[in-house]
């Protein structure tokens, strides 16, 4: 029937449109400096640019290979679901086992490619962890992923069997709840499984408190993560909600960068607290989740085997559900990256305004690109598909634009105050 055939494309179009409209509504309308046009060659040597491209672009290709492998495994399972799934007498329990099995299968299937990516990172000096340590991390993260997949598959099967045609609606609520719980618990439950966290002390902490007071931000905890156990890369991030809210700084950042550069990084992270970017991200998820899950439900119906005699889907529909969720999430993820990039650009501007230091900002972007072997000016298509932050050269352009604006304001003030 025509109506049935149009339901899937209509659902996908609706999910894409809602996600795009949500980005347009929620993206910052002010507080973002327009980057000045600058050339990467003006801030990085030819050798630095070539080294970054020689490393990052094959890494992106390998990342694409992992996605293809995962999609291939799921497509194969959709084409020929294991017979045990079809004949399950306890659908929810079987779904839990199947969910864990799918997660482990995907991990194992992509492991060789991920090992190649890691070897390439070792070659450029980004990785400091031993292979044994990496194997332990892979095992722990795989076990956590399998447990989450088992719970998700069991919950999905329970909803599908209880609400055969409208299961996607309560499922979208579960997705949002999972987002809230995972952000709240990750800093105190999951992150400590992989790293050691200590409270920040000394002059840097004093800077954090002073900046937070100036910004009117309740910063929560400020911690240092022992990232140097695994990498030479430097970074910082905001994590948690409510009582678990915190700013986390890599120890490599504190050891390798100048105080004024660290101060700018802290100001950037405070911006996320100032604008409540994590709660706003959850609001975006709450808006798009129902439409995304409806599209995934329609695709699942198209791909899954026919329901059983009782008219309800069984665990053999799980591969179709997994493939559908991955496909829809990938599309919506590309759209949501637009919001992420604009939010990060606003945080950069906030850091510049809070500190008034454009030169250290530009210097930091140069140093972080070199230390992390990042491509300062990736192809536009890469930024569009994968970029959660503006390209480094664009961030440098923001620093240049802010500097010019500050100089112009200073000159105007001098003329106004002169004789």
**Domain residue spans in the chain?**
2-409
DSSP per-residue letters across 105-160: HHHHHHHHHHHHHHHHHHHTT-B-S-HHHHHHHHHHHHHHHHHHHHHHHHHHHHHH
Q: Residue 413: what pLDDT?
A: 60
Question: Exposure of 139 by Cβ count < 10 A (0-12 exposed, 13-18 middle, 19+ buried)?
Answer: exposed
What does the block give as tokens for 347? 């945080």
Residue 367 · residue 44 · CB < 8 Å: no
In this prediction the pTM is: 0.92
Q: Residue 412: what pLDDT?
A: 65
Distance, CA of 369 to CA of 23 (rounded, Å): 28
Distance, CA of 394 to CA of 385 (rounded, Å): 17
Region label for 115, one of left (φ > 0), alpha (ψ between -120 and 50) or beta (otherwise) = alpha
Q: Residue 309: what pLDDT?
A: 63
Distance, CA of 345 to CA of 43 (rounded, Å): 19
Per-residue pLDDT of the chain (419 residues; tens, 9 = 90+): 667 678 899 999 999 999 999 999 999 988 899 999 999 999 999 999 999 999 999 999 999 999 999 999 999 999 998 878 777 788 899 999 999 999 999 999 999 999 999 999 999 999 999 999 999 999 999 999 999 999 999 999 999 989 988 999 999 999 999 999 999 999 999 999 999 999 988 888 888 888 888 888 887 788 999 999 999 999 988 888 888 988 899 999 999 898 899 889 989 999 998 999 999 999 999 999 999 999 999 999 999 888 766 667 888 999 999 999 999 999 999 999 999 999 999 999 999 999 998 999 999 999 999 999 999 999 999 999 999 999 999 999 999 999 998 877 766 665 555 54
CA distances from 330 to 122, 178, 203, 335, 392 (A): 29, 18, 42, 9, 24
What does the block give as tokens for 345? 């650009």
SS3 250: strand
Distance, CA of 93 to CA of 129 (rounded, Å): 38
Q: Residue 419: what pLDDT?
A: 46
């Amino acid at each position: 029937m025509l109506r049935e055939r149009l339901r899937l494309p209509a659902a996908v179009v609706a999910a894409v449109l809602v996600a795009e409209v949500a980005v347009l509504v929620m993206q910052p309308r002010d507080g973002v400096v327009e980057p000045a046009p600058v050339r990467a060659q003006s801030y990085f040597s030819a050798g630095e640019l070539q080294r970054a491209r020689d490393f990052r672009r094959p890494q992106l290709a390998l990342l694409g290979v992992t996605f293809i492998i995962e999609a291939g495994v799921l497509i194969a399972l959709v084409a020929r679901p294991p017979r045990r799934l079809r004949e399950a007498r306890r659908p929810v329990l079987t779904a839990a086992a199947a969910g864990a099995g799918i997660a482990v299968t995907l991990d194992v299937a992509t492991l060789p490619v991920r090992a190649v990516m890691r070897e390439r990172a070792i070659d450029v000096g980004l990785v400091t962890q031993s292979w044994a340590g990496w194997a332990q991390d892979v095992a722990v993260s795989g076990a956590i992923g399998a447990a989450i997949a088992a719970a998700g598959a069991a919950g999905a099967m329970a909803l599908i069997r209880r609400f055969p045609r409208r299961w996607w609606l309560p499922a979208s609520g579960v997705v949002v709840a999972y987002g809230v719980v995972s952000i709240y618990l990750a800093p105190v439950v999951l992150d400590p499984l992989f790293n050691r966290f200590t409270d920040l002390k000394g002059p840097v902490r004093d800077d954090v408190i002073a900046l937070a007071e100036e910004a009117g931000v309740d910063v929560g905890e400020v911690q240092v993560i022992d990232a140097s156990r695994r990498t030479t890369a430097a970074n910082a991030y905001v994590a948690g909600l409510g009582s678990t809210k915190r700013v986390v700084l890599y120890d490599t950042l504190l050891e390798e960068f100048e105080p004024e550069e660290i101060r700018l990084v802290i100001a950037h992270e405070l911006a996320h607290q100032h604008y409540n970017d994590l709660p706003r991200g959850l609001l975006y998820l709450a808006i798009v989740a129902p439409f995304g899950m409806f599209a995934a439900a329609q695709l699942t119906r198209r791909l899954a085997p026919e329901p059983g005699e009782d008219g309800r889907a069984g665990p053999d529909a799980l591969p179709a559900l997994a493939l559908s969720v991955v496909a829809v999430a990938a599309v919506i993820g590309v759209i949501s990256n637009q919001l992420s990039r604009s939010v990060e650009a606003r945080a950069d501007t906030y850091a510049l305004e809070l500190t008034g230091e454009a030169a250290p900002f530009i210097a930091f972007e140069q140093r972080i690109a070199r230390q992390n072997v990042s491509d300062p000016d990736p192809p536009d298509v890469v930024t569009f598909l994968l970029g959660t932050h503006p390209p480094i050269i664009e961030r440098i352009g923001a620093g240049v634009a802010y500097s010019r604006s500050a100089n112009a304001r200073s000159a105007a003030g001098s003329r106004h105050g002169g004789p």
